[in-house]
Amino acid sequence: MLGWPTEVFVKLLALIVFSANAWGQWINYPVPGTPRMKNGKPNLTARAPKSGDGKPDLSGIWESIPPEKSKTGHESFADNSTDDLNVFDLENFMADGAPIPLKPEAAVLFQKRMQEGGADKPSGRCLPHGIPDAMLIPADFKIVQNPGLTIILYEEFNHYRQVFTDGRPQPHDPNPAWFGYSIGKWDGDVFVIDTVGFNDRTWLDDHGHPHTEALHTIERFRRQDFGHMDLQVTIDDPTAYTAPWKATIHFRLLPDTELIESICENEKDAQHEVRK
């Protein structure tokens, strides 16, 4: 069907059949400490919670909010009613319609992936989504904030990241990894994650923007209130792009629910996909 990977159709079906809160195992379980309105529903515009050190607590289950329209003019996934995959293109999250500054070789690879309908995407072979793609796809992620270590749990494939905040430096000459090596610090009320040491096997988004092992990302998380959070991610890869570039992604909290186990069981459908 249209040459899209099986994974895409599974996600689209889930979006149509289930509401976001139905993706969890403890559905509608009232989580203690959640601010509530008089009718008992979570108050998503209440103040952002604080951790023991007075910093904003980013803990919770989050999902991305796509832009109202993609640059193709189509409606987004914001209302869970469309199949326009263009909204997952990071270019839609850049300010003022700025283009992504691809180098010629990277542009050729990106166009190839587009023309093939994403047939070779890593997630179609049970391999990880990259950064920031793992937070951009229509799947939830959970932040667990602790002193010295913040953990990001991705519902998709049960993957995780460790963000060390204990003052350690980046490792010297690290073995390339799917999610790289992340250290975090606070800049006022903004949580900054600095990540290096990537392999070159993930995509930056489901549209296929590439990167190399030279990739360096800076993620700046800001929790606006109890139910909303922003991420400004800077992509710095001088091998694939002519200059560093930024995208801003918005998230909403999924209260009173929980992640569900999601295992990719040796996906074999990719070899049967029809390429354009």
Confidence of residue 10 (pLDDT cuts 50, 70, 90): very low
With beta carbons less than 8 A apart as the criterion, state whether 184 and 83 touch.
no
Can you tell me the mean pLDDT for 257-263? 89
> Of 24-33, 119-128, 181-190, 208-217, which gets the smallest average pLDDT?
24-33
* Pairwise pLDDT comparison (104 vs 125), residue with the higher score: 104
Tokens of 21: 């809160």
Cut 0.85: pTM above it: no
| Alpha carbons within 13 A on the beta-carbon side of 265 | 2
Q: What one-character DSSP code corresponds to residue 77? A: G
* Pairwise pLDDT comparison (160 vs 19), residue with the higher score: 160
Q: In the prediction, which pLDDT does 4 show? A: 47
Q: For residues 62 and 134, what is the distance between their CA atoms, to the nearest angstrom?
A: 12
pLDDT at 60 over 50: yes
How many other C-beta atoms lie within 10 A of the C-beta of residue 42? 18
With beta carbons less than 8 A apart as the criterion, state whether 155 and 262 touch.
yes
pLDDT at 117 over 60: yes
Can you tell me the mean pLDDT for 110-121? 90
Can you tell me the mean pLDDT for 108-124? 91
Q: For residues 237 and 242, what is the distance between their CA atoms, to the nearest angstrom?
A: 8
Query: What's the mean pLDDT when you consider all of the chain?
Result: 85
Helix (H, G, I), strand (E, B) or coil at 79: helix
Q: In the prediction, which pLDDT does 241 show? A: 98
